[in-house]
């Protein structure tokens, strides 16, 4: 669902929103849920761009504040910015 704001098309997730997504460590075959602070999203590609806002415990290949692209399919929770 795209929204318009000041004439520009905005994706489903807006800058400042938080999404909780599942990240998997392929070597350990374990996953964890972490928050991502949204910078932008593209509905057609079904991707959120943002930075990791949780400290990884299982997925040690990721780091806090790392820039990421996350598939909508991995998002389990969404909190809108105020």
Residue 59 pLDDT: 94
This prediction's pTM:
0.84
Sign of the CA dihedral with 69 first, then 61, 74, and 17 last: negative
Alpha-carbon distance of 62 to 47, in angstroms, equals: 18
Closest CA to 20 of 61, 52, 47, 58: 52
Q: Which CATH architecture has domain 3-79?
A: Roll (2.30)
Residues of the chain falling short of pLDDT 50 = 1-8
Residue 6 pLDDT: 42
- Contact assessment for residue 3 and residue 63, using Cβ atoms and an 8 Å cutoff: no
Q: Where are the domains of the chain?
A: 3-79
Residue 41 pLDDT: 95
Residue 10 pLDDT: 55
Residue 58 pLDDT: 94
Alpha-carbon distance of 41 to 15, in angstroms, equals: 8
- Contact assessment for residue 66 and residue 54, using Cβ atoms and an 8 Å cutoff: no
């Amino acid at each position: 669902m795209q929204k318009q704001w000041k004439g520009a098309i905005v994706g489903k997730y807006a800058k400042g929103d938080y999404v909780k997504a599942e990240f998997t460590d392929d070597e350990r075959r374990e996953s964890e849920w972490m928050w991502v602070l949204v910078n932008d999203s593209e509905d057609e590609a079904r991707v959120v761009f943002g930075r990791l806002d949780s400290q990884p415990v299982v997925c040690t290949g990721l780091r806090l504040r790392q820039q990421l692209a996350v598939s909508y399919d991995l998002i389990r929770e969404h909190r809108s910015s105020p």
